[in-house]
A = this chain, B = another copy of it.
Amino acid sequence: MLSFSVSGTYADLYEITMGQTYFLEGRHAETACFDYFFRKIPNNGGYVLFAGLHDLLEALEGLQFTDEDIAYLQELRLHPDYLDFLKSFRFKGTLHAPPEGEVIFPHSPIVRVEGTLLETQLIESLLLNILNFASLVATKASRIRQVAGNRTLSDFGLRRAHGPGAVLAARAAVVGGFNSTSNTYAALKYGIPAAGTMAHSFIESYDAELEAFRAFARSRPDDCIFLVDTYHTLQSGVPNAITVAKELEAQGHKAVGIRLDSGDLAYLAKAARNMLNEAGFPYVKIITSNQLDEFVIRSLLEQQAPIDVFGVGTKLVTGAPDAALDGVYKLAMAAGKARLKLSESKEKTTLPGIKQVLRTLDEEGKFYGADAVILASEGNHADLIRHPVEEERQLYLRDCRQEPLLQKVMENGQRTAAPPALAETAAYAQKRLRQLPEEYKRLENPHLYKVGISPQLWELREQLKAHFHK
């Protein structure tokens, strides 16, 4: 049976071998702090929607090395004392993060992980694997929601998703604004409304389309969505759907909709809508699928295609074309000292120390477009931020309200609160997106949201640089 459970080996090997050095050198219990952040917004967008925290925290609570893991690491010639230690390993660290559904920006810490050097290092790839992908898909979903208005959006991506990544994608889609999924496993696991219609094969398996529609209506009289493009949409599919919708009405039931999966969706939706209305079925919805994304949906709606439900697959669950969020996990503190990666490119120099992020808001509660990364010891306000790299550029934020984004979500390896319902998370995302001004949300060439650093943080980084250059 194909199955995956996150256990200790769900890691890049180097995390386990670096851990061995820490252990054998007696450093594994030293304290450390890592930051999760990303550098570039995928798909030319103006923001990223944070998702995946729930699955990450659940994985961390259950994380352990199974007997199979230990036996395998023995084969890799890891030290027996270290393996003994790993046998009873549990993650006991502390995490600060915004709620899922938060709007986030490049170069700003999103998750702060504190704990022992060993445990914080071991979870690097696990954290990145979940958060990068979930945030990628939630962001894509939110762009699609933005153009779809209040029409229904359903995830149809299981068949094109990256194996069981489909399951995380279905949940992330809901965080970003989707209503349902065709992925029954994900629907069960996360309590997402399950949605489905019928396949061409169903219709072809009958000698006639009308017969197929009638058979389906007999067994699901209140859940009929007729796929109308198997033979000829307007000459065959829609007329047959109307026939069966009439038969259902006569029996006290109502057909739910028809689905268009090929051809010119704008033209066919208009023609089908007219036919349905003229036949007395204004309530029969039009569902479309077939290589949809935010751009195709926007175009369909600009043409005033009367579509009620969009089933989105490939482009949603793969987050194409970029298909990845470039999130990284970088050391900020170890053994009581702030730490720095210098790098040959200025942009890749990391931000040292234990940090907080302040979201700046204007009088109306809208995001001001300039977040502040500060040292956690500075409190919860920043009057002045500096560009993270360019020395001369700075910005005063004097009369603004600021909110700390990083809140404690895990302590001593346990969640600090029960996870919010998925619907609550989705509502939070929409609330935060409403606070984000339009210019950061537009699909083409969005405005650049500024993230600056406090003078104290700048100073700390300069000290560490100077230390290295000596």
> CA–CA, A195 to B13, complex, Å?
6
> CA–CA, A12 to B161, complex, Å?
12
Q: What residue in chain B is nearest A10 (Cβ atoms)? A: B185
The answer, yes or no, to whether A397 is at the interface (CB within 8 Å) is no
With beta carbons under 8 angstroms apart, the residue of B24, B76, B169, B327 that contacts A218 is B24
A344 touches B263 (CB 8 A): yes
Q: Is the interface of A mostly helix, strand, loop or mixed?
A: mixed
A55-63, A98-106, A250-258, A452-460 - interface stretch:
A55-63
The answer, yes or no, to whether A34 is at the interface (CB within 8 Å) is yes
A183 to chain B, nearest CB (A): 7
Q: What residue in chain B is nearest A335 (Cβ atoms)? A: B205
A325 to chain B, nearest CB (A): 8
A12 touches B133 (CB 8 A): no
B348 touches A262 (CB 8 A): yes
> CA–CA, A159 to B38, complex, Å?
12
Number of copies: 2
With beta carbons under 8 angstroms apart, the residue of B1, B125, B156, B320 that contacts A58 is B1
Q: What residue in chain B is nearest A134 (Cβ atoms)? A: B163
Q: What residue in chain B is nearest A59 (Cβ atoms)? A: B2
Residues of B within 8 A of A202 (CB): 14, 18, 21, 121
With beta carbons under 8 angstroms apart, the residue of B62, B164, B219 that contacts A1 is B62
B162 touches A162 (CB 8 A): yes
Complex interface bits, A154-177 against B, C-beta within 8 A gives 1, otherwise 0: 001011111111111100000000
> CA–CA, A468 to B2, complex, Å?
41
The answer, yes or no, to whether A220 is at the interface (CB within 8 Å) is yes
A228-236, A412-420, A428-436 - interface stretch:
A228-236
A162 touches B165 (CB 8 A): yes
> CA–CA, A330 to B439, complex, Å?
44
The answer, yes or no, to whether A204 is at the interface (CB within 8 Å) is yes
Residues of B within 8 A of A117 (CB): 205
The answer, yes or no, to whether A9 is at the interface (CB within 8 Å) is yes
A236 to chain B, nearest CB (A): 9
B4 touches A167 (CB 8 A): yes
A324 touches B331 (CB 8 A): no
B13 touches A187 (CB 8 A): yes
A152 to chain B, nearest CB (A): 15
A12 touches B162 (CB 8 A): no
The answer, yes or no, to whether A32 is at the interface (CB within 8 Å) is yes
Q: What are 16 inter-chain pairs, A to B, with CB distance below 8 A?
A: A2-B5, A2-B59, A2-B62, A4-B164, A4-B185, A14-B197, A17-B223, A20-B219, A72-B188, A76-B194, A128-B158, A128-B159, A204-B331, A229-B343, A262-B345, A314-B324
